Amino acid sequence: MDVTPILEELNDAQRQAVTAPAEPALIIAGAGSGKTRVLVHRAAWLIDVEGVSPHSLLAVTFTNKAAAEMRHRIEELLKVPVQHLWIGTFHGLAHRMLRRHWREAKLPQGFQIIDSDDQLRLIKRLLKNLEVDDSRWVPKEIQWFINAQKDEGLRPQHLDDDNDPNRRQMISLYQSYEEICQRGGLVDFAELLLRAHELLRDNDELLAHYRRRFQHLLVDEFQDTNAIQYAWLRLLAGGDGVPFVVGDDDQSIYRWRGARVEHIHQFQKDFPGTRVVKLEQNYRSTATILNAANAVIANNASRLGKNLWTEGAEGEPIKVYSAYNERDEADFVIGRLRDWIDQGNLRADSAILYRSNAQSRVLEEGLINARIPYRVYGGLRFFERMEIKDALAYLRLISNRDDDSSFERIVNKPTRGIGARTLEMMRAYARANACSMWRAGGAIASDDLNGRAANAVNAFMSLIERMARETQGLELHDKVDHVIHLSGLAEFFKKEKGEKGETRVENLAELVSAAKSFEPDPAEDMPPLDEFLAHAALEAGEGQADAWEDCVQLMTMHSAKGLEFPLVFICGMEDGLFPHQRSIADPHGLEEERRLCYVGITRAKQTLYITHAEQRRLHGMDNFSHPSRFIAEIPAEHVEEVRPRVQVSRPLRSAAAPRRRQSATASGNELGIRLGQHVRHKKFGDGVILNCEGQGAHARVEVNFESAGTKWLVLSYANLELM
């Protein structure tokens, strides 16, 4: 049999792993050593050579993007599409099981997934209902507590209050939260996993069925599985299943979300006789980049330790740029991107990575001004935008009237005269009768409310009923379109002033196209609307319409895990931002940040830029900080400091010749700038210099623009024309 394509371009260790007999296997290896590649080839090998049915494979990866990529690569190797192959994230697969077995999982058929935003809102409402003081019981902390318990597989009844009144209250809130969710058929992200675990644990027949079905369980990024994910996996593999897991302890970056790298040891105990394979050759990065990454991670004490080498070229040094502020940083990045694109490279081969989502805004502005297409992964993603969530809430309510979270979101949006008092009454009724808001609305509208309020509630409820009726049998995108208009949302946002309203209306239109291009997965076997809603909740941000356009990739280092790019920028390498302030004092936290840095560096194939700013405005605050300690951990021989562009723009320099020097003024004057000078800026128009400070490339001026107001500009980038 011709098996060459599957075994091509694999080294000995990789080939050994791909062709290993059907026994538990643990592939533990550093970044870029081909772990994901081995997993893909293993799947193809099992199907094509060992004759295993795709039906018997379960493959788990970390993001939906990675799952799609994996399916694509397996199909490429096999040259046939593989339907019936279960491939997805832990959350996605858990969701699929719950949909299929909603009865056994004790869920209503139309249960809905809520994201962490919805969850927080629900908790806030709960506190209000229970008249609990939310300054003492902080909603975010409660949310954190609940999710942490679920990640460990713990229900309220499993928890002991240890005679601690605080803890007792937390447990009781967890209990109440659970009741609300159960009543409304709402499932949060942690619940998906917990419930899927309980589903198998408590249903012998189901468990036996799935154990028979999934002979091979392939898991990527194993170092980041949390307790409940691991328990689920162990349960499934507990019969004759063969788990085949790959991971890298140095890339464990989700400890804060319950991931436990200790599972690497636990695995070998739980599956005696595990075959352990190490891969040591890196195929991704230049020697310079790899050595830099190795040197940084060597500062961590708790490691399994491994030796990663490459046959690749030495490559160019890592370039470090010290920016004046975040705008200067963005200008620098965009300048280099420009060069890269002008040299004929694909934009999609470049990535800008950062520690925190909020950093993207300034970079985005710069990219927009430079007209460079880009795409942000994470952050305020499409499905998380207000107007989209509003529209989805209508759709969800159509699908499940008991969804309180959606009900509350849209009952008075657009405004329809349902006031706070009416809602308060509904909540009280719902609480007293342990029913949903929808039922409460129906009940009190006929008994307790005055005429106007009752009319408003009735009108809302019949609107929802009408939508449900009129959209029945429509195609998914027609359904969405219908709801957007009938709900009045489109009209409502149209009235919102300015660009914002326009964008919102465009986004709503975009939702219709998203529904149009949505392809239901035949394996899911559920109504398209429910599947679409689940998709929206699970894949937020990963289904943007411009996915295939050639564009620069922006994302946090967390979301860059597993990916690779020829050109990488890591921005905001400052102590306090990266490593993050809250982790600096905690040795475990600092090590996790360092692993994240290792992940960041090892995304780069050829060229890596690292930037930091002396001054940064983030979340509306100005911070002055030192370069990240991680930069100093990179051996000097791999680093080249990029000199700031000292020369300033031409109009300024030519005008700078005839001038008088004043001894007591800032250096802006050396460039011909004086206070009161009239200048012109390409974008901001005409203005007057109010102030200047700083030296050389870092000289800044404050200009009062006639129409744009006062602004501080970095002189060497502002291209000011002297008037």
Q: Which is nearer to ligand ATP, 14 or 716 (CB)?
A: 14
Which range touches ligand ATP (CB under 6 A), out of 10-18, 385-393, 450-458, 611-619? 10-18
Quick check: 309 binds ligand ATP (CB under 6 A)? no
Q: Convert residues 347-376 into a mask of x (bound to Mg ion by CB under 5 A) and - (unbound).
A: ------------------------------
Nearest distance in Å: CB 8, ligand ATP: 9
Q: Contacts with Mg ion: how many residues (CB under 5 A)?
A: 3
Quick check: 399 binds Mg ion (CB under 5 A)? no
The span from the CA of 233 to the CA of 244, in Å, is 11
Residue among 386, 382, 400 nearest 492 (CA): 386
Quick check: 88 binds Mg ion (CB under 5 A)? no
Quick check: 9 binds ligand ATP (CB under 6 A)? yes
Residues of 570-600 as b/e, b for ≥16 C-beta within 10 angstroms? bbbbbbbbbbbeebeeeeebbbbbbbbbbbb
Q: Are the C-beta atoms of residues 309 and 601 closer than 8 Å to each other?
A: no
Nearest distance in Å: CB 319, ligand ATP: 22
The entry of ligand ATP, Mg ion, none near residue 712 (CB within 5 to 8 angstroms by kind) is none
Among 562, 572, 672, 687, binds Mg ion (CB under 5 A): 562
Which range touches Mg ion (CB under 5 A), out of 27-35, 310-318, 586-594, 647-655? 27-35
The span from the CA of 655 to the CA of 174, in Å, is 69
Binders in 229-248 for Mg ion, by CB under 5 A: none
Among 284, 396, 401, 409, binds ligand ATP (CB under 6 A): 284
**CA 38 → CA 28, 56, 184, 412, 561, distances in Å?**
11, 18, 43, 53, 17
Q: Convert residues 561-580 into a mask of x (bound to ligand ATP by CB under 6 A) and - (unbound).
A: -x-x----------------
Q: What single-letter amino acid sits at 118?
A: D
Length of the chain counted residue by residue: 723
Catalytic positions, please?
35-36, 220-221, 251, 603
Among 151, 248, 349, 390, binds ligand ATP (CB under 6 A): 248
Q: Are the C-beta atoms of residues 145 and 170 closer than 8 Å to each other?
A: yes
Quick check: 250 binds ligand ATP (CB under 6 A)? no
CA count, 13 A, side-chain hemisphere, 480? 26
Quick check: 712 binds ligand ATP (CB under 6 A)? no
Q: Contacts with ligand ATP: how many residues (CB under 6 A)?
A: 19
Q: What single-letter amino acid sits at 473?
A: G
Quick check: 559 binds ligand ATP (CB under 6 A)? no
Q: What single-letter amino acid sits at 632?
A: A
Look up residue 308 and give its DSSP letter.
-
Q: Are the C-beta atoms of residues 596 and 650 closer than 8 Å to each other?
A: no
Among 14, 33, 36, 325, binds Mg ion (CB under 5 A): 36
Nearest distance in Å: CB 201, ligand ATP: 31
The entry of Mg ion, ligand ATP, none near residue 283 (CB within 5 to 8 angstroms by kind) is ligand ATP
Nearest distance in Å: CB 28, ligand ATP: 10
Which residue lies nearest Mg ion, judged by its C-beta? 36
The span from the CA of 34 to the CA of 282, in Å, is 7
The span from the CA of 688 to the CA of 678, in Å, is 5
Residue 714 forms beta bridges with which residues?
Answer: 700
Quick check: 559 binds Mg ion (CB under 5 A)? no
Question: Tokens in use for 376?
Answer: 């942000």
Binders in 423-442 for ligand ATP, by CB under 6 A: none
Q: Which is nearer to ligand ATP, 346 or 526 (CB)?
A: 346
Quick check: 14 binds ligand ATP (CB under 6 A)? yes
**CA 26 → CA 21, 234, 263, 722, distances in Å?**
13, 14, 11, 66
Residue 516: partners with Cβ closer than 8 Å, 6 or more residues away: 476, 477
Residue among 391, 422, 428, 426 nearest 409 (CA): 391
Binders in 32-91 for ligand ATP, by CB under 6 A: 32-37
In which element (H, E) is residue 100 found?
Answer: helix 90-100
The entry of ligand ATP, Mg ion, none near residue 530 (CB within 5 to 8 angstroms by kind) is none
Residue 50: partners with Cβ closer than 8 Å, 6 or more residues away: 22
Give the interface with ligand ATP as residue ranges (CB under 6 A). Answer: 9-11, 14, 29, 31-37, 248, 251, 283-284, 562, 564, 602
Give the interface with Mg ion as residue ranges (CB under 5 A). Answer: 35-36, 562
